[in-house]
Amino acid sequence: MSERTDDPARIVVRIRGQVQGVGFRYAAIDQARRLGVTGWVRNTDDGDVELVAEGTADRLRRLVTWCHAGPPGARVTQVEPQWRPFAGEFDGFQLRR
């Protein structure tokens, strides 16, 4: 991962716990848009939430920190971020099915 907080980066995050049926995806979209990062979020078939985001390393770290708590009603047990090279592939932050 980049040393500088303003360098562009990408993360793939797996969020585990009670994260489906509690508005996690919609709250994640709001949070990502507030932070000015792009990408997508979706539910997985095994009950997790997967999130892919691009932006500055600092903003992505803040999004990962938010994922540890999520919205009210969520019970996050594990957050697994994987840092990747920036690809510049997204225009906004979307819900993916």
pTM: predicted TM-score of the whole model, two decimal places: 0.93
CATH architecture of 8-88: 2-Layer Sandwich (3.30)
Catalytic residues: 25, 43
Interatomic CA distance for residues 70 and 17, integer angstroms: 11
Per-residue three-class SS string for 41-95: EEECCCCCEEEEEEEEHHHHHHHHHHHCCCCCCCEEEEEEEEEECCCCCCCCEEE
**pLDDT, tens digit, 9 for 90 and up, residues 72-94:** 999 999 999 999 999 999 999 99
Q: Which residues of the chain have pLDDT under 70?
A: 1-4
Q: Could you tell me how far CA 43 lies from the centroid of its own chain?
A: 12
CA–CA distances in Å: residue 3 to residues 9, 16, 47, 51, 54: 11, 27, 33, 22, 16
Query: Where exactly are the structural domains of the chain?
Result: 8-88
